[in-house]
Amino acid sequence: MALIREAQGDAVALTVDVAAEDSVDRMSGAVARIADKLDVLINNAGVASVPARLLYVLTAEWDRVNAINLRGPFLVPARCCRRCSPRDRRQEQSESGIKERNRGPPPSA
């Protein structure tokens, strides 16, 4: 961050639990308060477990790794895109609507 500031740029570091919706919501709200728009999102949080035979992996550890590595990459851009410019949201909604029309109705639960 120091290099960015030395180059007259702005940078902010935020601590976020990418697997927790409330934490990601707080982060996206903080970004919205700090900046008019979000130009770049680097979504690269991830963890790895100590290698173990599947027989010895605890369910809690499996859930933790998957929450960070799978849920996080879904939540962060989903929440941050809500903060996109109205034009970007219209484009996203338009593309989403096209996909919905082409896909048909969702399967019943």
What's residue 104's pLDDT?
55
Whether pTM exceeds 0.75? no
Structure confidence by residue, pLDDT tens digits, 88-99: 555 444 444 444
Report the distance separating Cα 48 and Cα 50, nearest Å: 7
Burial of 17 (0-12, 13-18, 19+ CB in 10 A): middle
Which residue do the tokens 């550890």 mark?
61
**Hey, what CATH topology would domain 2-86 get?**
Rossmann fold (3.40.50)
Structure confidence by residue, pLDDT tens digits, 62-77: 999 999 999 999 999 8
Report the distance separating Cα 39 and Cα 11, nearest Å: 12
Report the distance separating Cα 12 and Cα 39, nearest Å: 13
